């Protein structure tokens, strides 16, 4: 069994170890790309199902657009090409050719298959989607269009880290079209609220909702909003973004509609996305030195029953009882796994399920069976109690709910404990030379000043929180007037 | 409203028209790639959910492997590179550069970002997956591995047709690893049976299960099995394949395991897939000159209620009743849509929902409301009956079931009517110069003879059916001895 490095010893190594111990992902031979293993993908499937249901409840439908984007499309929106040209995979040929070099057969791109116009693998799909929307939108009757896509995208990152930053990643990208600026803005904020709900209520991950500064806006957006979470090393992680694109893409791709009065106008757009990056955030929010910790609402397996025996007769009896319990609990809480592996000590099994983050363990030995009970143990705080079989159908969901709430409360407290109101540049520098955290500081609103802060300290403005101290003050860096505090942090 | 060309007039145009009229897909600016529109993607989502549930029921789990495959990987399995090198998208650079040519700014692949080893976009994932399995498999305890992946893949096709053959397509690809040849073969056949069940029971599409000839085997397989369906133009369509890969990929990627006795052996492999191509098959199996026809079990919307009114008062009453009915029917049959669009004639709405393939239409006018009934009309045979409100919760599911069975029966009859036992080459040629269809013929077993048939008539052996006339005879083409009949057809 691989050892897990302690958080306090080497945080980044700990993160890698948790991923490996829980078998969530693996390195691949493709630069910057990872393999998402079944345990990791099961989390993504739960994320997909929960978000997808919510999107549909709000009237969205799914569609699928091409992986490849004609090179020239990217150039249509000036800021967009600036933002993505430097990190995109480019397809230039469509055929391999076998050749013999120094007596060795190998394959090369067939020069005769060179493309007239190169394609890039989508880093995001605004361009190819808005090119299509031009065909689909003529009149106000065609609006709104509320489309979401589940897809893989690719951004050629130089420094990668599993889940958090990978060259290829999976995500959903919503792309909506509206008749008015107000409708577009309302959609943008509605989807940000969906992400807040999902992060806090499902992932038990507290987040700060707010507006990105102009420097940090999505390439092509009028306004970008984000949810920002805090990891256990006091760094911030942007967990999702929602963009008000105004008429930028409609103008770049010439998408207009005729309103009820016959007036022709450009369409208003939004886009919003959450990616497999959120799994990295989930790992870093709750896990501990024993491995992965998962909030029950996102855990694939809600509980594991570990039957304990010394001989074949006991084995038959406890396994039968365990199977019966698992079958009874399934309709109540979801998947309950029975670990019947032979020739493996219970302690070894406990440690394995702890590493894998199953929220609750139910131990069932011959004496428990005789007493008609199981020992119920919570993964995150090791609380352990005997529960009679008859009570399990109420006690287990209650325990899962307690764990869900507790994980959220712990994460909130950790975040709040590492959040500071800072008014002097010395204190600011000291904070980020030390433990780090969220700093609520006054800022002048100048992008150059923001950049100077980043150059000096690697600290950025995460967002301008919707809920903030709006009193006037002086910029923590340059001293110029400020109309309210913003959220600073070092970030992933 | 776009006209739909009659099948009898121009079959291939009819197919395109049905797709457009039902808004299933659209052309894209990317060569050979299509956009799957919400109505088409909803069918794919139902396919995914149904297959995925079945895969999991049989013990499979999902995972995700990289989109890109190092060029050299493809070359490891000799037949594999032969099969896929000629049609793959090749990534050669990872950055675009803005340049000014003749005073015009454009983007080109940055020469400084040329990759040392090129990547290809996966045409299928055996190579990248088996490279990973080498890391995951040491002992017999690690087996079997039963992994499935939902993904996009790319094969650079020269002649494309929506859904049936596109450069990029969506699919699932199962990749399993086993300790013995027998287990591998059993898995291959089990998954073929899953596909047969899915095609016949869910899509109402009769198929012939069988073994592919050596010429038609998957590149790298020991044996390929397929399900073959017949379209309305009497052409065959391969609806899914399941491959017994033997130890070919394990040997190419050096994947071995130690058995319980300590002996080291190469692992046995299977792979199996179904793609968005099946949506093309679905369209061509059931649709008619009025548009799309969908079997109820795969339809996203099971029924549409069309309220009919002449004034505001009537409108309020029928719409309220329609909403109530839809809400009551939802838990019984699934989604029931109420079409409340104003200023649109009911006849227009009927035609639109027919084009979109909703299996049942419920008409509800003021007189129906007064009588406490709806008119229930089936999409495929236009059977129309009044049904009292109180009976709808039993009558609608019964009607959906009748439609499902009827569509299957119609498709079976059409297939059987166009299936012939043919023993002379003249009759064979005559059949394929005319209407075409399935021909059950004797074949000598020689690949060269098979190729000669194809060159002369564009007819191929679809498969060697599991259930077939196994009597001896003479090859329909060369007259040499044959040990049983095989299935010939022209195909998509």
Output phi, psi for B47, to 5 deg: -60, -50
Under an 8 A CB cutoff, do A36 and B63 touch?
A: yes
With respect to residue A294, please indicate whether it lies within any of the assigned structural domains: no
Is A211 found in the same domain as A128? yes
Under an 8 A CB cutoff, do A38 and B44 touch?
A: no
Is A444 found in the same domain as A376? no
Cβ-Cβ contacts under 8 Å, A125 against chain B: none
For the domain that residue B474 is a member of, what is the CATH number? 3.30.110.30
Mean pLDDT of B365-386: 97
Q: Give me the residue from A26, A38, A72 closest to B132, CB to CB.
A: A26
Cβ-Cβ contacts under 8 Å, A170 against chain B: 64
Q: For residue B459, name the pLDDT band (cuts at 50, 70, 90).
A: very high
Are B170 and B277 spatial neighbours (Cβ–Cβ below 8 Å)? Answer: no
What pLDDT shows up at residue A1?
65
d(CA A360, CA A363): 10
pLDDT tens column, B219-249: 899 999 999 999 999 999 999 999 999 999 9
A391-407 core/surface letters (b: 16 or more CB in 10 A; e: else) = ebeebbbebbeebbebb
How close A260 comes to chain B (CA, Å)?
14
Give counts: helices (H), strands (E), chain B: 14, 27
Q: Give me the residue from B86, B93, B152 closest to A152, CB to CB.
A: B152
With respect to residue B139, please indicate whether it lies within any of the assigned structural domains: yes
Is A281 found in the same domain as A312? no
For the domain that residue B360 is a member of, what is the CATH number? 3.40.50.800
Cβ-Cβ contacts under 8 Å, B70 against chain A: 29-30
What pLDDT shows up at residue B302?
98
Are B230 and B242 spatial neighbours (Cβ–Cβ below 8 Å)? Answer: no
pLDDT at B104 over 90: no
With respect to residue B298, please indicate whether it lies within any of the assigned structural domains: no
Are A393 and A302 spatial neighbours (Cβ–Cβ below 8 Å)? Answer: no
Is B430 found in the same domain as B390? no
Is B164 found in the same domain as B269? yes
What pLDDT shows up at residue B255?
98
Please indicate whether residue A102 or residue B92 has the higher confidence score (pLDDT): B92
Are A278 and A222 spatial neighbours (Cβ–Cβ below 8 Å)? Answer: no
With respect to residue A93, please indicate whether it lies within any of the assigned structural domains: no
Is A135 found in the same domain as A70? yes
Is A199 found in the same domain as A52? yes
Under an 8 A CB cutoff, do A63 and B41 touch?
A: yes
Average pLDDT, chain B: 96
Q: Give me the residue from B63, B109, B168 closest to A35, CB to CB.
A: B63
Is B180 found in the same domain as B48? yes
Are A72 and A78 spatial neighbours (Cβ–Cβ below 8 Å)? Answer: no
Under an 8 A CB cutoff, do A168 and B74 touch?
A: no
Cβ-Cβ contacts under 8 Å, B170 against chain A: 64
Is B481 found in the same domain as B394? no
What pLDDT shows up at residue A77?
79
| Residue numbers in chain A where pLDDT is lower than 50 | none
Is A334 found in the same domain as A266? no
- Write the CA distances from A488 to A92, A146, A421, A482, B223, integer angstroms: 42, 33, 10, 15, 60
Are A185 and A281 spatial neighbours (Cβ–Cβ below 8 Å)? Answer: no
How close B63 comes to chain A (CA, Å)?
5
With respect to residue B249, please indicate whether it lies within any of the assigned structural domains: yes
**Half-sphere exposure of B424 toward its Cβ, with a 13 Å CA cutoff?**
3
Domain limit, last residue, from A354, A379, A407: A407
Which residue from B minimizes the CA distance to A36?
A: B64
- Give the domain range for residue A401: 303-407
With respect to residue A108, please indicate whether it lies within any of the assigned structural domains: no
With respect to residue B46, please indicate whether it lies within any of the assigned structural domains: yes
Cβ-Cβ contacts under 8 Å, A85 against chain B: 95-98, 107
pLDDT at B74 over 90: no
Output phi, psi for B4, to 5 deg: -105, 120
Is B172 found in the same domain as B44? yes
Under an 8 A CB cutoff, do B67 and A33 touch?
A: yes
Q: Could you give the number of structural domains in chain B?
A: 3
Distance of CA B244 to the CA centre of its chain: 20
Is A476 found in the same domain as A397? no
Q: Give me the residue from B69, B128, B168 closest to A67, CB to CB.
A: B168
What pLDDT shows up at residue A473?
96
Q: Give me the residue from B61, B67, B94 closest to A90, CB to CB.
A: B94
d(CA B86, CA A21): 41
Which residues 6+ apart lie within 8 Å of A246 measured at CB? A181, A184, A221, A222, A223, A268, A269
Geometric angle at alpha carbon B114, from B111 and B120, rounded to 5°: 135
With respect to residue A314, please indicate whether it lies within any of the assigned structural domains: yes
Cβ-Cβ contacts under 8 Å, A152 against chain B: 67, 151-152
How close A451 comes to chain B (CA, Å)?
25
Mean pLDDT of B185-204: 98
pLDDT tens column, B119-148: 999 999 999 999 999 999 999 999 999 999
Under an 8 A CB cutoff, do B28 and A98 touch?
A: no
What pLDDT shows up at residue B1?
65
pLDDT tens column, B156-166: 988 899 999 99
The ipTM is 0.96
**DSSP conformation class of B216:** G
pLDDT above 70 covers what percent of chain B?
100
Q: For residue B82, name the pLDDT band (cuts at 50, 70, 90).
A: confident
Q: For residue B98, name the pLDDT band (cuts at 50, 70, 90).
A: confident
Under an 8 A CB cutoff, do A89 and B85 touch?
A: no
A39-74 core/surface letters (b: 16 or more CB in 10 A; e: else) = bbbbbbbbbeebbbebbeeeebbbbbbbbbbbbebb
């Amino acid at each position: 069994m691989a050892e897990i490095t302690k958080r306090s010893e080497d945080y980044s190594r700990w993160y890698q170890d948790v991923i490996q111990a829980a078998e969530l992902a693996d390195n691949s031979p493709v630069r910057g790309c990872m393999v998402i293993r079944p345990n990791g993908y099961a989390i993504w499937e739960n994320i997909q199902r929960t978000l997808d249901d919510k999107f549909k409840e709000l009237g969205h439908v799914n569609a699928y657009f091409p992986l490849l984007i004609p090179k020239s499309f990217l150039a249509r929106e000036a800021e967009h090409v600036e933002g993505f040209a430097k990190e995109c995979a480019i397809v230039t040929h469509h055929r391999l050719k076998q050749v013999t070099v120094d007596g060795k057969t190998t394959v090369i791109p067939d020069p005769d298959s060179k493309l007239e116009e190169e394609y890039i693998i989508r880093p995001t799909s605004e361009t190819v989607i808005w090119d299509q929307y031009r065909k689909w939108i003529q009149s106000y009757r065609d609006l709104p269009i509320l489309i979401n896509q589940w897809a893989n995208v690719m951004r050629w990152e130089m420094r990668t880290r599993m889940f958090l930053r990978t060259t290829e990643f999976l995500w959903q990208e919503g792309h909506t079209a509206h008749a008015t600026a107000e409708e577009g803005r309302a959609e943008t904020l509605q989807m940000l609220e969906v992400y807040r709900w999902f992060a806090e209520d499902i992932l038990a991950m507290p987040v700060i909702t707010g507006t990105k500064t102009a420097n940090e806006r999505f390439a092509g957006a009028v306004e970008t909003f984000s949810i920002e979470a805090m990891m256990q090393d006091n760094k911030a992680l942007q967990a999702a973004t929602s963009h008000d694109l105004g008429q930028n893409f409609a103008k770049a791709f010439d998408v207009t509609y005729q309103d009820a009065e016959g007036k022709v106008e450009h369409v208003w757009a939004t886009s919003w996305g959450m990616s497999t990056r959120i799994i990295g955030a989930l790992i870093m929010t709750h896990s501990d030195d024993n491995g992965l910790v998962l909030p029950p609402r996102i855990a694939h397996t809600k509980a594991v029953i570990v039957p304990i025996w010394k001989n074949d007769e006991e084995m038959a009896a406890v396994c039968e009882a365990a199977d019966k319990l698992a079958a009874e609990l399934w309709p109540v809480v979801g998947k309950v796994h029975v670990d019947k592996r032979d020739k493996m000590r219970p302690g070894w099994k406990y440690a394995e399920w702890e590493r894998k983050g199953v929220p609750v363990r139910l131990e069932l030995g011959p004496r428990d069976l005789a007493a008609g009970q199981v020992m119920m143990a919570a993964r995150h705080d090791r609380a352990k109690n005997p529960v009679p079989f008859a009570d399990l159908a109420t006690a287990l969901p209650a325990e899962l709910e307690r764990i869900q709430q507790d994980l959220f409360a712990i994460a909130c407290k950790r975040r709040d404990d590492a959040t500071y109101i800072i008014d002097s540049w010395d204190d600011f520098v000291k904070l980020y030379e030390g433990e780090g955290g969220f700093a609520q500081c006054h800022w002048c609103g100048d992008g150059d000043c923001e950049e100077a802060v980043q150059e000096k300290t690697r600290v950025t403005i995460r967002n301008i929180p919707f809920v903030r101290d709006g009193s006037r003050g002086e910029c923590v860096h340059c001293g110029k007037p400020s109309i309210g505090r913003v959220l600073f942090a070092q970030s992933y």
